[in-house]
Structure 1
């Protein structure tokens, strides 16, 4: 890791904790989990309610689960980074 004088301390911390990579992994996991839940609990059993209702619930589940997974992965990165010092 090289410290560039033009980068802010916040940008250095984000880069050191691999936040963009953790966000991609976290939201990828969340999308797969949401899709699996949608298939197993909505499509396979069948439903008579509006699909927009389930799409809205799926959006909330995907964003909240993605944010939670991103935080957990970033905390793991921070712990590993603290153990290196």
Structure 2
């Protein structure tokens, strides 16, 4: 299973996704996530990011919060609520 998001870097420094977490309503975290591409997003540009989950449809059913983090110090992360599976 996978979810794709279009991220726009509104900051002043390059932002490179390095990892992700999916957190459910009961604070359970789904593991085994893969983020691609792991390419930098320069300021003022957008890039499509795909987060893949290695789980059966029945294991990942429902609404989640998607958290993405960056490799650059001080750039922060991105949190998206209401990510639905399947």
Same fold? TM cut 0.5: no
What's the TM-score once normalised by structure 1's chain length?
A: 0.24
* Max Rg structure: 1
Is the helix fraction higher in 1 or 2?
A: 1
Q: Which has the higher contact order (CA 8 A, sep 6+)?
A: 1
What's the TM-score once normalised by structure 2's chain length?
A: 0.24
